Amino acid sequence: MEQVYEILIVFFLVVSGVFGLVGSFGLVKLPDPMSRLHAPTKATTLGVGGVLLASMLHSVLIEGRLSLHELLITLFLFLTAPITAHFIAKAHIHRHVKSEELPKPGGDHDWASLDQSDNTAP
């Protein structure tokens, strides 16, 4: 039965390695910064998530103890990766897109960070 556990752990390690490789390849080969942003965030989430899942399985199935460190790392990763991607995308929009090229916000004007039609401070 231990061999089945090891095969399962190796499977998650290989899958996470493939996601890491594909994410790195996408970071290098995709044409613009907004496309390049997508590949590493998915690679980080799925690749590192696979390594953490393999580590959790190893500690539970092979060593016989439960380690919560990997769960905390996974929670932190799933919370911070999308937020970081959002901040990088916002910075790219602020630096490289003219406000005339963006659609106008409908209704509430407080959500749009590049709506420069009204220059009065709230």
Reported as a single tens digit per residue, the pLDDT across 1-11 is 889 999 999 99
Task: Tell which wins on pLDDT, 114 or 73.
Answer: 73
pLDDT in tens, 93-108: 778 777 676 666 666 6
Output the CA angle 23-20-45, nearest 5 degrees. 85
Residues in Cβ contact with 1 at an 8 Å cutoff, skipping those fewer than 6 apart = none
> What is the pTM for the complete model shown?
0.69
Is the pLDDT score of 113 beyond 70? no
Tens digit of each residue's pLDDT (9 = 90 or more) over 14-73: 999 999 898 888 888 888 877 788 777 777 788 888 999 999 999 999 888 888 888 899
